[in-house]
């Protein structure tokens, strides 16, 4: 009997403990935790999203480039619909009656309890007319958001555009819901998390018919939207606008960098488009039109086009030759209108011969750099040709070629620097020598680079052997700049002492008789430049030019590509010199206005 009495007290204690736990839990849920209460009341309230304004975008000098304008989506609350004048509504909206019927049917099938989108991004004029007459159309409501607006209609490829989210993005990021917008390209995409802000929410009471009855709990749970953070770009908007103007009739690109910081000053892919074309209700139609354009204005040539660098690449091979000790600044090679050896024929233009290193850069001598490249690849200090080539490639990669630079906008291409395995597949291992791949000596053959990489090369030479990763965003409101970019100096494998000779050769190319870019000389500013011709199997060769200025304490490094421009001195060099002059002096000298006019009015293809 005592045994059962003990169990009775134990069971009683257990039941009492359970009762205490339940009472405590109920007390907690009812007094402290509103989560379940809110969940139970879901059927009597509606949540409205309050969309934040995206952050503003300024140039390096504080000039506003991108801001916002109000936009309104027209929504339908199915349960609140009542008879209305459909003809009048269609007239205001500029739609036909069938579109209206289809829209009403669609929103009823989506969710009969919610206000569902009918027409997005009404123009301000349409919104104004409908707002005045809204009382005539029960069940129709407005939802406010903002659209991008461009105070300066420049920089479409670097700014990017905003687009509606798709299902894959909604699954990947819980921030987004159906009907939201996000940065789809350019800095709008790269810095989406900063620019988009934070949504707010408004809780509204609804009755059993879905009609709004006022604020839920007097707005206690409402939250305000937080606007996106403002962004300051490294771009100089005046230089950007002038570069776009100069490139308006060409296919190609301009990239200008401040060498000491890696900041992008101008970033033009041509043909370009007006960024205002890709906002509002006209966006989809305009996007399709741009996609179909044979000149590919949506294609960002600055970071996605891969060209042979042509003779601009001679500067790199020359520096490697100097660093490897296979040539010295005083080394001379003959040029008999080209380089001819072991079945190799590489023509060159007429110039004095023989030339030393600086003179070879000045005159862009093919023969000189073919001899240099042969000495690099056939260097006896390496056991095999392949070993020497692998060392050469290691040098090249240290200059930022063969990999993306890491610029802060998406879709950058790496270019192409072949590996020894590439040649082993084509020529068999041990069966290729320097002469087999001699085209690499003048930036042809299999080598491909992007315009950005070539601008970075100009910055490396200006800095005497290092670069900072190119970037377009200078700072973000409230964010430590050090957290945005790696500002470390990336040193190349060539000793800094050798860059003087390349810089002298580039100086002479622009400023001394015999130079390949004499027409781009400025009176009071020493431009150091290198012309190039990129072979094009589909037509006239491309005009290429890299440069930096002034020679001492360089402020700007630049790369210009003009497709079908033939010689570097024909189009790319004049455009680069005009941009350098504009950036450093804020004007174009009267005696050079004719060059500006020629660049503004010339056309190179029938398609333009």
> Is there a contact between 563 and 251 (Cβ–Cβ < 8 Å)?
yes
> Is there a contact between 526 and 581 (Cβ–Cβ < 8 Å)?
no
Cα(505)–Cα(369) distance, integer angstroms: 13
Per-residue pLDDT at 471 exceeds 90: yes
Q: Specify the pTM.
A: 0.87
What per-residue confidence (pLDDT) applies to 40?
A: 44
pLDDT in tens, 6-60: 566 667 667 777 777 776 766 665 555 554 454 444 446 677 788 899 999 999 9
Cα(5)–Cα(10) distance, integer angstroms: 9
What per-residue confidence (pLDDT) applies to 499?
A: 98
Per-residue pLDDT at 486 exceeds 70: yes
pLDDT in tens, 150-191: 999 999 999 999 998 988 999 999 999 877 899 999 999 999
Tell the residue number behind the tokens 């000793």, with chain if given.
495
Q: With the C-alpha atoms ordered 420, 425, 428, 429, is the resulting torsion angle positive or negative?
A: positive
Residue 452 has which token pair? 């950005």
**All domains of the chain in start order, with CATH:** 45-76+100-233 (3.90.1310.10), 237-601 (3.40.710.10)
What per-residue confidence (pLDDT) applies to 119?
A: 85
Cα(287)–Cα(277) distance, integer angstroms: 8
**E strand or H helix that includes residue 416:** none
pLDDT over 70 for what percent of the chain? 91
What per-residue confidence (pLDDT) applies to 112?
A: 62
Cα(422)–Cα(496) distance, integer angstroms: 31
Q: Is 499 helix (H, G, I), strand (E, B) or coil?
A: helix
Cα(499)–Cα(400) distance, integer angstroms: 16
């Amino acid at each position: 009997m005592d045994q059962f009495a003990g169990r009775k007290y134990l069971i009683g204690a257990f039941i009492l403990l359970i009762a205490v736990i339940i009472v405590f839990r109920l007390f907690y849920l009812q007094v402290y935790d509103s989560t379940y209460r809110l969940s139970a009341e879901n059927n009597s309230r509606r949540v409205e999203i309050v969309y934040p304004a995206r952050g503003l975008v300024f140039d390096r000098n504080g000039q506003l480039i991108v801001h916002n304008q109000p936009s309104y989506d027209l929504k339908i609350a199915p349960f609140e619909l009542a008879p209305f004048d459909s003809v009048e509504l269609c007239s205001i909206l500029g739609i036909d009656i069938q579109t209206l019927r289809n829209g009403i049917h669609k929103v009823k099938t989506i969710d009969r309890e919610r206000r569902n989108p009918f027409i997005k991004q009404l123009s301000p004029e349409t919104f104004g007319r409908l707002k005045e007459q809204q009382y005539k159309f029960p069940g129709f409501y407005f939802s406010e958001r903002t659209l991008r607006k461009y105070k300066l209609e420049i920089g479409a490829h670097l700014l990017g555009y905003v687009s509606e989210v798709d299902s894959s993005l909604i699954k990947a990021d819980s921030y987004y819901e159906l009907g939201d917008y996000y940065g789809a390209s350019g800095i709008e995409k790269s810095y989406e998390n900063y620019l988009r802000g934070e949504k707010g929410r408004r809780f509204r009471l609804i009755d059993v018919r879905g009609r709004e009855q006022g604020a839920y709990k007097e707005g206690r749970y409402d939250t305000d939207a937080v606007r996106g953070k403002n962004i300051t770009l490294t771009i100089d908007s005046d230089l950007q606008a002038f570069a776009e103007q100069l490139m308006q009739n060409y296919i190609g690109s301009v990239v200008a960098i401040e060498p000491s910081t890696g900041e992008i000053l101008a970033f033009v892919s041509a043909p370009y488009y007006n960024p205002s074309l890709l906002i509002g209700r006209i966006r989809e139609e305009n996007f399709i039109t741009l996609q179909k354009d044979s000149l590919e204005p949506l294609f960002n040539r600055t970071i996605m086009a891969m060209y042979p660098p042509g003779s601009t690449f001679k500067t790199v091979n020359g520096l490697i030759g100097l660093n490897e000790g296979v040539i010295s600044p005083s080394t001379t090679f003959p040029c008999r209108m080209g380089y001819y050896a072991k079945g190799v024929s590489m023509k060159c233009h007429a110039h004095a011969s023989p030339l030393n290193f600086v003179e070879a850069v000045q005159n862009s001598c093919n023969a000189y750099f073919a001899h240099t490249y042969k000495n690099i690849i056939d260097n006896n200090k390496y056991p095999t040709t392949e070993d020497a080539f692998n060392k050469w490639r290691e040098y090249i990669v240290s200059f930022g070629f063969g990999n993306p630079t890491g610029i802060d906008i998406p879709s950058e291409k790496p270019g192409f620097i072949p590996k020894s395995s590439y040649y082993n597949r084509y020529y068999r291992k041990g069966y290729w020598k320097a002469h087999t791949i001699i085209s690499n000596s003048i930036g042809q053959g299999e080598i491909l680079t992007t315009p950005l990489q070539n601008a970075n090369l100009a910055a490396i030479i200006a800095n005497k052997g290092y670069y900072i990763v190119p970037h377009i965003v200078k700072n973000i409101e409230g964010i430590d700049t050090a957290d945005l970019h790696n500002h470390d100096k990336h040193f190349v494998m060539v000793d800094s002492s050798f860059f003087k000779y390349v810089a002298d050769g580039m100086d002479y190319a622009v400023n001394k008789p015999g130079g390949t870019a004499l027409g781009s000389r400025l009176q009071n500013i020493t431009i150091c430049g290198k012309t190039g011709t990129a072979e094009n199997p589909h037509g006239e060769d491309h005009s290429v030019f890299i440069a930096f200025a002034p020679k001492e304490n360089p402020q700007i490094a630049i790369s210009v590509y003009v497709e079908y421009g033939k010689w570097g001195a024909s189009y790319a060099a004049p455009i680069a010199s005009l941009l350098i002059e504009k950036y450093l002096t804020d004007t174009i000298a009267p005696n050079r206005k004719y060059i500006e006019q020629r660049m503004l009015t010339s056309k190179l293809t029938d398609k333009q």
